[in-house]
Amino acid sequence: MFTSGDVVTAWLTGAATTKRRPAVGVSTDVYHSTRPDVIVAILTTQIAAAVDPTDYVLQDWAAAGLHRASACRMFLITVPAADLNPIGHLTDRDWQEVQARLRLALAVS
């Protein structure tokens, strides 16, 4: 079962290309209870470019199952849950920071 904060890989369309890339799930159990998809935020290894207020450079990227330093960008997409390959989970501190960036990016408190 998928949970918020899970790190996954999937074929995802980014700003320029579609490729197999990592992402972090940001949708909730309530969302998953009625939907076949998961909302994800794309992760990137282009951390020097992650300078927007809604970007977050992961502190514990290796603990999350990633092979390289990565940043979370609030480039949100939905992906069928069956297409996701789980590789890890964000640490509590990284998940809290990603949630803070989500609140900045979306009109929610």
CA dist 6 and 65 (Å) reads 10
Enumerate residues 6+ apart whose C-beta is below 8 A from 50: 44, 56, 57, 71, 72, 73
CA dist 83 and 109 (Å) reads 30
Summarize pLDDT for 24-40 with one digit per residue, the tens.
999 999 999 999 999 99
Provide mean pLDDT across the span 90-105.
97
Domain of 71 in residue numbering reads as 6-105
1 belongs to a structural domain: no
10 belongs to a structural domain: yes
Summarize pLDDT for 5-64 with one digit per residue, the tens.
999 999 987 667 788 999 999 999 999 999 999 999 999 999 999 999 999 999 999 999
47 belongs to a structural domain: yes
Looking up residue 63, the CATH number of its domain turns out to be: 2.30.30.110
Query: How many structural domains comprise the chain?
Result: 1
